[in-house]
């Protein structure tokens, strides 16, 4: 006689969801972090799921884990249902008059410090039932586990846009400045054209502002300089500190270097060339309907970023 698993007192659906996360990520530890439980609890859940179903779902070894035939069948049949289950829960949650629930954000360090910290603090004060989980990172992100991601890039006229299934909206745009400390320029010379940058120590962030391809425009002609691998760091504030310590030439946004240029700690290089723009974009997956907490935060985000940027101009 088949046991009705859904009528048991065990949280069978939670365990199946966790099992699917283990198979998708290939790691108990990563699945535990994503699902918000301890690795020990996650391992126990899978064992209890196997006992409830009377079948082995995962073969474990010290180096890897592999789904059994039964485990692969469960994963293939159940994992496509997860987005619909999540959307249904959000639709029901939207019927509440008060915004509540968790918003997950992934942001570059610079945008988090200059804008996001203040905006999130204000939103929590207005909506105490909304919780935030913020990841400070500059690389790739999982759009299924993040509500909004904020990423920086360098753009220039004629650059092809990358295809994406995510919605992308520009929040900020400001000029990039090529700059270095006076001491560095005394010791290594002043470059006068993009082609000369290959002879200098250059500081760049691959994920922040176009990586090692720096774009310039002069007299209607676009020129791209490919920078040799001198120093790469995906934190523009650290690149600023390195430039101030005479480590090389940096390519940084106006809001970050305007004070240092004004007081002479840094010097603006090759001013006859127009640099690319520094952009901050927000990415999110299309959802209909979008959870009320996310829709409300998105609208507030657009409003506050525009207000805060106007005050700095």
- pLDDT tens digits for 103-122? 999 999 889 999 999 999 99
User: In 3D, which of 88, 128, 74, 107 has the Cα closest to residue 236?
Assistant: 107
Q: What is the pLDDT of residue 65?
A: 86
Q: What is the pLDDT of residue 303?
A: 95
| Residues 250, 168 share a domain | yes
User: Does the pTM exceed 0.85?
Assistant: no
And the tokens for 113? 């410090």
Q: What is the CATH number of the domain that holds 54?
A: 1.10.10.10
| Residues 199, 227 share a domain | yes
| Residues 132, 85 share a domain | no
Residue 7 located in a structural domain: no
Domain boundary among 73, 97, 121: 97
**pLDDT tier at 163, thresholds 50, 70, 90:** low
Residues 6+ apart with CB under 8 A from 160: none
pLDDT at 158 over 60: no
Mean pLDDT of 48-68: 86
| Residues 151, 294 share a domain | yes
Kindly report the average pLDDT of the chain as a whole number: 84
pLDDT at 195 over 80: yes
Distance CA 278, CA 272 (A): 18
Q: What is the pLDDT of residue 207?
A: 57
| Other CB atoms within 10 Å distance of the CB of residue 296 | 17
| Residues 214, 175 share a domain | yes
Distance CA 278, CA 175 (A): 6
pLDDT at 126 over 80: yes
Mean pLDDT of 143-172: 77
| Other CB atoms within 10 Å distance of the CB of residue 216 | 22
| Residues 247, 106 share a domain | yes
Looking at per-residue pLDDT, the higher value among 209 and 27 belongs to 27
Mean pLDDT of 217-235: 78
Specify the range with the lowest mean pLDDT, choosing from 204-208, 246-250, 256-260: 204-208
Structural domain containing residue 110 = 101-310
pLDDT at 2 over 60: no
| Other CB atoms within 10 Å distance of the CB of residue 237 | 14
**pLDDT tier at 176, thresholds 50, 70, 90:** confident
Distance CA 162, CA 236 (A): 23
Mean pLDDT of 171-175: 89
Residues 6+ apart with CB under 8 A from 52: 3, 5, 8, 10, 12, 15
- What's the per-residue H, E or C state across the chain? CCCCHHHCCCCHHHHHHHHHHHHHHCCHHHHHHHHCCCHHHHHHHHHHHHHHHCCCCEEECCCCEEECHHHHHHHHHHHHHHHHHHHHHHHHHHCCCCCCEEEEEEECHHHHHHHHHHHHHHHHHHCCCEEEEEEECCCCCCCCCCCEEEEEEEECCCCCCCCCCCEEEEEEEEEEEEEECHHHHHHHCCCCCHHHHHHCCEEECCCCCCCCEEEEEECCEEEEEECCCCEECCCHHHHHHHHHCCCCEEEEEHHHHHHHHHHCCCEECCCCCEECEEEEEEEECCCCCCCHHHHHHHHHHHHHHHHHHHHHC
| Residues 159, 296 share a domain | yes
Residues 6+ apart with CB under 8 A from 59: 65, 66, 67, 68
* Percent residues over pLDDT 90 in the chain: 36
| Residues 287, 162 share a domain | yes
Residue 53 located in a structural domain: yes
Looking at per-residue pLDDT, the higher value among 151 and 156 belongs to 151
pLDDT at 186 over 90: yes
Q: Are 254 and 278 in contact (CB under 8 A)?
A: yes
Domain boundary among 68, 97, 126: 97
* Percent residues over pLDDT 70 in the chain: 87
Residue 1 located in a structural domain: no
- pLDDT tens digits for 266-300? 999 999 988 878 889 999 988 777 888 899 999 99
- pLDDT tens digits for 69-95? 999 999 999 988 887 887 777 767 665
Mean pLDDT of 240-268: 92
Q: What is the CATH number of the domain that holds 252?
A: 3.40.190.290
Mean pLDDT of 10-34: 86
Distance CA 218, CA 195 (A): 13
Q: What is the pLDDT of residue 116?
A: 96
Domain boundary among 65, 97, 129: 97
């Amino acid at each position: 006689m088949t046991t009705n698993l859904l009528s048991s007192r065990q949280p069978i659906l939670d365990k199946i969801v966790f099992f699917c996360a283990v198979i998708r990520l290939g790691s108990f530890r990563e699945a535990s972090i994503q699902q918000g439980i301890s690795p020990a609890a996650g391992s126990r859940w899978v064992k209890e799921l196997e006992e409830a179903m009377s079948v082995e779902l995962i073969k474990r070894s010290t180096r890897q884990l592999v789904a059994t035939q039964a485990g692969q069948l469960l994963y293939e049949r159940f994992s496509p249902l997860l987005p619909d289950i999540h959307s249904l829960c959000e639709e029901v949650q939207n019927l509440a008059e008060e915004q509540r629930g968790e918003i997950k954000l992934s942001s570059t360090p610079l945008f988090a410090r200059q804008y996001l910290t203040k905006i999130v603090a204000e939103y929590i004060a207005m909506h105490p039932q909304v919780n935030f989980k913020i990841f400070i990172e500059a690389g790739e992100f999982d759009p299924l586990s993040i509500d909004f991601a904020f990423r920086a890039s360098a753009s220039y006229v004629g650059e092809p846009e990358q295809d994406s299934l995510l919605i992308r909206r520009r929040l900020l745009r400001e000029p990039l400045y090529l700059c270095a400390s006076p001491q560095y320029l005394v010791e290594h010379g002043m470059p006068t054209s993009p082609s000369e940058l290959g002879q200098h120590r250059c500081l760049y962030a691959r994920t922040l502002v176009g990586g090692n391809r720096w774009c310039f425009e002069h007299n209607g002609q676009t020129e791209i300089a490919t920078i040799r691998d001198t120093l790469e760091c995906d934190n523009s504030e650290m690149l600023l500190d390195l430039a101030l310590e005479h480590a090389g030439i940096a390519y940084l946004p106006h809001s970050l270097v305007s004070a240092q240029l004004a007081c002479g700690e840094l010097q603006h290089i090759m001013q006859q060339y127009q640099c690319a723009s520094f952009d901050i974009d927000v990415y999110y997956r299309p959802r209909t309907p979008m959870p009320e907490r996310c829709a409300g935060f998105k609208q507030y985000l657009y409003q506050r970023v525009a207000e805060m940027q106007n005050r700095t101009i």
